Chain A
Amino acid sequence: MIAYFVRRLLYAIPILLGVNVLTFALFFLVNTPDDMARMQLGNRRVTQEAIEQWKADRGYNRPVFWHAAQAGSAKLTDTLFFDSTQRLFTFDFGKSDAGRDISEDLRQRMWPSLVIALPSLLLGLGCALSAALVFAWLAGSRLDFWGGVICVGMMSISGLFYIIGGQWLLAKLWRIAPISGYGDGLEVARFVLLPVLVSVLAGLGGMVRWYRALLLEELGKDYVRTARAKGLPDGLVMWAHVLRNALIPVLTGVVVLLPSLFMGALITEAFFAIPGLGSYTIEALQAQDFAAVRVMVFLGSLLYIVGLLLTDLSYVLVDPRVRLE
């Protein structure tokens, strides 16, 4: 298994390089370093000299991929891509184009993202599994039918509607939670309530339908019929056998998400003024802050790869029949 993981980690290097090449190509296709400089320096009274100075200070005056004026390997190494990729792979994120230390910003902003994402995931998982169990258990009943209708309805509604509707109902009309913001210490709980509730609700319909389908598939299997034939109570069959087996795809689906929880939710964080990494990414994109954008893309890819590795590991842990070769 160790060999498998080493191999997978080695595969990650070309993937990350490829992602980095794409990030550079796409970013510089849309923005020139002059545009970035103008964005940072403003549009009023800025001269070309000031733009050139800004670019020189941040190394944006060098070619992106190929430095034709250099000789030998320097054609490749004296480029923006080589230099910044080298630093990315050693986790030396440097400064953003706005002049702030990126690592420090990441350290500060990953916690609010996690504070929203982790409870949303756990609560969503708990609610969805509970509802799916009930619906699967009572499959074909009126409760199951109307539950299905409601779930499909919930799936059809845009996530933005949940956010605006949640703010309108809970914070504005009923006035039981702050509409947006973030607090210190225990105060955080008051601010987390609404975004977590909204995140859970927004994802609930789809999750319930998926989990119900998984549970129903399990319910139709031979071992369930055998258990029932042996006279096991329905509750025991559901909890001890069906749920346990149905959890394999659920868990592996969740594990892949775990590392990216740090990365935050773009729209939720913006609407609820949560100072997390989701809003950090949006701000970086809006400000054409390439230094911050490339770090966020790199981290996103890296965490996704880590998530996939953890998924493989979780297969082994939850299903003893699986072997990683």
Chain B
Amino acid sequence: MPLLLLSLTGCGERALNDPYPAADAGRAILYTTFQERPKHLDPTSSYSENEAAIIAQIYEPLVQYHFLKRPYVLAPLTATAVPAPQYFDAAGKRLPDDAPDEQVKRVVYRISIQPGIQFQPHPAFARGADQAYRYHGPAARLPTPFKTLADFPQTGTRELEAADYVYQIKRLADPRLHSPIVSFMGRYIKGLTALQTALEKAPTVPDLRELELDGARVIDRYTLEIELTEKYPQFVYWLAMPFFAPVPWEADQFYAQPGMAERNLSLDWHPVGTGPFMLTENNPNRRMVLSRNPNFKHETYPAEGAPDDAEAGLLADAGQSLPLLDAVHFQLEKEDIPEWSKFLQGYFDASPIAPDGFDQAVRIAPDGSVELTPEMQARKLRLAVTTQTSTSYIGFNMLDPVVGGASERARKLRQALSIAVDVEEMISIFSNGRGVPAQGPIPPGIFGFEDGEAGINPVVYDWQQGRAVRKPLAAAQALLSEAGYAGGKDPATGEALTLNFDAAAAGPDAKPLFNWYRKQFAKLGLRLVIRLTDYNRFQDKMQHGSAQIYAWGWNADYPDPENFLFLLYGPNGKVAHQGENASNYSNPEFDRLFVTMRGMPSGPARQALVKQMLAIVRDDAPWLWGTHPQAYALAHQWVKNVKPNLMARNTLKYRRIDAARRATLRREWNAPVWWPVWTLGAALLITGWLARRSWRKRQQARLA
């Protein structure tokens, strides 16, 4: 066996447990993982983190988040500048930027793109000598047989045009593509809903280039206009998402041909973009490989960042042409244990900390800070602790007759529960301390969040000795009495008030958490019934408003308070409007302030408005609040330019790998241990010898 293994690994050139081909040794390849195969790689349909990790490297929207600057700011990507809206009234008269919402009847974004940007090489662009497309259109001659894109011998490219962005906006309305944002965007982009209706009724699939969309127009080869029907300042953030990345019409025509879908050749699996990488191997069953796009030449590493970035070495590559990697390999790794082990062996360059590896990786210092264990420090691993721009919360269904509604009784009951459920303890027990108790819906890092005393939820916390301290249980008990449930007794029955927590069953690990919830409610004398169900039924309950208390969460789409406060905006109620307001909370004053706030530029006036809104929801307590989770991520010493950016997904182009150092350390860390193999072999030989001796003895005994 040792000889077999050695021959398969090239006689010791690489470690025996090295999972990568010898040809990749020494190349600047970033190795990372995916646990679940992506469902969509079409920018029209894709709306999940694991998909964005791939397509954000391939497609280029008009703008992007600056890699280094904080707070998050937008920077041009293919656009020449970050688009600014122009407001017009009903008569077509230009309005100032601070014009009231009700006056604004037209919003126009005129956007210029940089000339000279080329699409990645792809057969859809291949042309013959007569300039006709070789693999689609009237002169198409497809290779026979073909199974993959590699079977098309010729590729081509072409320059990115404004029309490609307009084409993609039209694709959002294509009912076959099921864009998750079409209904939402239909409220703003002029004519998008009408186009969607027309496409739904169309007997055959029309060429989208021939259809007009009032809200997206080509002005010239490098200029486009997007028109909204109302003021929506957050729209510019959407322009940084893949939904608004350019798609070449040639790709759609190419993949629409007979025989393509049967071979899984579609834009949903084989993207075509202008970004720094292109997908050269798409095997969602095993690995996805992004290779450097040879046509990408238009971006360099940023020369400025946050104040500490130069000291942290994050500006060392300033001015270098991007990308700094040859390739990125996303390896399918379904289980945490092998993923974590391979990371420690140096075969993955970065990794979150697996639940089972938490104690092995980090320890909490006496002062409460988090540090790496000596074992990890010896490997010179780097730990990045980031508070996520997301909020996990426990919510009350405001339509429920017991915990919901605007009555004083229900409000005080909710407030009492907000105090009694010890979120700090929950974070400590169930998240290894990885979380920040939420003081409101807005997480740290988003405009409107305030740290310190000014930012605490005064209903739940007091400010004592420089930190937020949860109010004593007595305060919760007093509120409960005021609500009419003294000692937790329901006056109607004289017994403990029974409340229901609806949750999706999440395996055996969830049981201790549910027990913990029961204990928290029992502190007030209340009885909590956990109504476990499968995720589908849970979704149904939420859709129909039949849940009472539930757990939910939201991850930021963009760094604006509107993206969190809209979770409590009345017209966004889940039951009445199928929106994201899962608590079905509605407060006219909050709603009025929300409408004003969302149209304002970020500044002191907006901050004051957000503060007012937070005061309302803290008092109404439609949520029991919860946590802003923290992510602990580890990276090996050979990975450079690592700075967590919770908004940008296209950051792999900035990453650099010291491949020589990695190869040396991998060999050092993975020297094989042979003695067990020799010992096992010897044990087998001895067993064989014993068997033979035993058999001989038996033979001799029989003969005797």
Cα separation A308 to B165 with both chains bound (whole Å): 58
B341 touches A100 (CB 8 A): no
B19 touches A181 (CB 8 A): yes
Say yes or no: is B513 at the interface (Cβ < 8 Å to chain A).
no
Which residue in A168, A174, A193, A271 is a CB contact (below 8 Å) of B335? A271
Given A45-B580, A100-B264, A275–B17 Cβ distance below 8 Å?
no
Closest CB-CB distance, A277 to chain B, in whole Å? 10
**CB closest chain-A residue, reference B693:** A143
Closest CB-CB distance, B635 to chain A, in whole Å? 20
Given A172-B345, A187-B21, A44–B580 Cβ distance below 8 Å?
yes
Cα separation A279 to B37 with both chains bound (whole Å): 11
Say yes or no: is A312 at the interface (Cβ < 8 Å to chain B).
no
B578 touches A47 (CB 8 A): yes
B338 touches A41 (CB 8 A): no
Closest CB-CB distance, B288 to chain A, in whole Å? 12
Count: A-B pairs, CB below 8 Å: 173
- Produce 1/0 per residue, B253-285, CB < 8 A to A: 000000001111010110000000000000101
* B494: A residues at CB distance < 8 A: none
**Stretch from A48-56, A60-68, A117-125, A297-305 that touches the partner:** A48-56
B21 touches A183 (CB 8 A): yes
**Stretch from A8-16, A29-37, A73-81, A216-224 that touches the partner:** A29-37
Closest CB-CB distance, B674 to chain A, in whole Å? 8
Given A54-B178, A101-B264, A179-B17, A48–B337 Cβ distance below 8 Å?
no
A175 touches B263 (CB 8 A): no
B17 touches A104 (CB 8 A): no
- Produce 1/0 per residue, A168-191, CB < 8 A to B: 110111111111111110110111
Which residue in B8, B540, B687 is a CB contact (below 8 Å) of A190? B8
Cα separation A241 to B520 with both chains bound (whole Å): 72
* A48: B residues at CB distance < 8 A: 578
* B181: A residues at CB distance < 8 A: 45
* A42: B residues at CB distance < 8 A: 47-48, 180
* B9: A residues at CB distance < 8 A: 190
B699 touches A234 (CB 8 A): yes
**Stretch from B363-371, B400-408, B612-620, B665-673 that touches the partner:** B665-673
- Contact count band on B: 35 or more
**Stretch from B138-146, B306-314, B326-334, B412-420 that touches the partner:** B326-334
* B16: A residues at CB distance < 8 A: 175-177, 190
- Contact count band on A: 35 or more
Given A38-B539, A108-B285, A57–B182 Cβ distance below 8 Å?
no
**CB closest chain-B residue, reference A46:** B180
* B37: A residues at CB distance < 8 A: 283
**CB closest chain-B residue, reference A235:** B695
Interface residues in B221-280 by Cβ distance below 8 A to A read 261-264, 266, 268-269
Cα separation A108 to B147 with both chains bound (whole Å): 12
Say yes or no: is B380 at the interface (Cβ < 8 Å to chain A).
no
B19 touches A178 (CB 8 A): yes
* A294: B residues at CB distance < 8 A: none
A45 touches B183 (CB 8 A): yes
B39 touches A98 (CB 8 A): yes
Cα separation A315 to B228 with both chains bound (whole Å): 76
Cα separation A206 to B181 with both chains bound (whole Å): 55
**Which 3 residue pairs spanning A and B have beta carbons closest together?**
A275-B285, A35-B536, A178-B19
Known A-B contacts: A40-B39, A176-B672, A234-B695. Give 13 more (CB < 8 A).
A38-B539, A45-B47, A49-B183, A50-B178, A138-B694, A172-B345, A175-B670, A176-B17, A179-B341, A181-B286, A187-B21, A190-B8, A275-B285
